[in-house]
Amino acid sequence: MKIKITGIALLLSLIVFCMSVLYYNYFSSALLSDLWQNINGFTRIVIPDTFIYKNIVDPSDFTQSIIISGVKNTIGPSFIWMAANENWVLVSLINSLLLFLALRYQIKIASVFCISMRRVVIITFVLSLIPATIYYSVGSLKEIATMTFLLGFYYHYIKGQYIKWISCAIIVVLFRYQMIGIVFLFLFCDQFKKRALLAAFIILFFKLITKQK
């Protein structure tokens, strides 16, 4: 059954890739000419951040160009742009591969908690084919990668695979630095085992009170 669901996940990832490429081809002239803000009655045809991540990359000095850019959460997305040689189709392929990996982690996590495969199939279809997934698959952004490596972090953590969960945690922070707080909060609260959720609520409650003051 797992093999069958994995096949479904692969097929859905390919469908997302094809839809992403078709979307790009339809708007390619606007995206390449930087006139994407308003084209044929459509606005915000892509997330504007993808152009920021793309434009700051200097292939001759990738690290320095990111450091001096002053742009938040640019390391991961800009690296993907560089790895794909700024090719939109290759970026869509990378996003689809990341989506497939996320679906695989989702299937594995469901197996650990004995969730019925029928429900997993439904969730897999929904996660893959909601408009937001297609939207975020166009251009290099942080959302799909963050989801993928956050799921990877959780799966490898509950399986006790230290090197893998630490690696996923590092990668997820490279895509969205704010996640470092979430990761540490999770690790801290997990030390309370059955009272982990209570500990998390207490911490968030005091944080909220402190912020209001």
Q: Which tens digit of pLDDT belongs to each residue from 125-151? A: 999 999 999 999 999 999 999 999 999
Which pLDDT score is estimated for 212? 47
9 burial type by CB count under 10 A (0-12 exposed, 13-18 middle, 19+ buried) = buried
pTM for the whole thing? 0.88
Q: How far is 63 from 116, CA to CA, in rounded Å? A: 45
Token pair 């990761």 in the structure block, residue = 183
Q: Each residue of 166-208: pLDDT tens digit?
A: 999 999 999 999 999 889 888 887 777 666 566 556 655 555 5
Structure tokens at 42: 């459509």
User: Would you say 107 and 124 are in contact if contact means Cβ atoms under 8 Å apart?
Assistant: yes
